[in-house]
Structure formats: structure tokens, C-alpha cells
């Protein structure tokens, strides 16, 4: 979806759209972490170097980081 099409939706729609993306990102990151990290790094989880589960706050921070990296990638393409 192009930026001008999003801007035509109006500000409340944009805020809801961005918030929805972040919430979806938080759930995906928590799910990915819970299923992938203990499977790939069982020794690190057993010794306590890597957490087997992450908090909602950490998932939010990772979601923001992923969104920023995606935005930077998108900006650098155009």
C-alpha cells in the first residue's frame, strides 16, 4: 500500500493501522521466541544465557526495532 493511499484514510485510521501492526508484531515475536530459541539454543537456555520466554515489554521493544529496520530498508529502496 502506497503512502498516499494511507494518508487518504485519515489520521485515526493510520493510528489504528500502525497500532495493529505493532500488536501483531508483539504476538509474532513472542510466539517465534517461545518456539524457536529453546529449540535452536537448548544449551544456552539451560545455562541461563538466553531466556526461554520473553516479557511483553521486551517483545514490544523488539517489535519497534523490527519496524524501524523495515522502515529504513523501505526508505533506502526508494
| pLDDT tens profile 23-72 | 888 888 888 888 888 899 999 999 989 888 899 898 888 888 887 887 78
SS3 52: coil
What local confidence, expressed as pLDDT, does residue 47 receive? Answer: 93
Q: Which of 77, 70, 72, 73 is nearest to 22 (CA)?
A: 70
pTM summary value = 0.61
Amino acid at each position: 500500500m502506497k503512502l498516499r493511499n494511507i494518508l487518504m484514510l485519515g489520521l485515526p485510521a493510520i493510528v489504528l493501522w500502525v497500532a495493529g501492526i505493532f500488536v501483531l508484531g508483539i504476538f509474532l515475536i513472542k510466539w517465534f521466541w517461545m518456539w524457536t530459541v529453546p529449540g535452536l539454543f537448548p544449551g544456552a537456555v539451560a545455562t541461563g544465557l538466553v531466556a526461554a520466554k520473553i516479557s511483553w515489554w521486551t517483545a514490544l521493544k523488539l517489535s519497534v526495532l523490527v519496524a524501524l529496520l523495515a522502515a529504513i530498508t523501505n526508505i533506502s529502496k526508494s
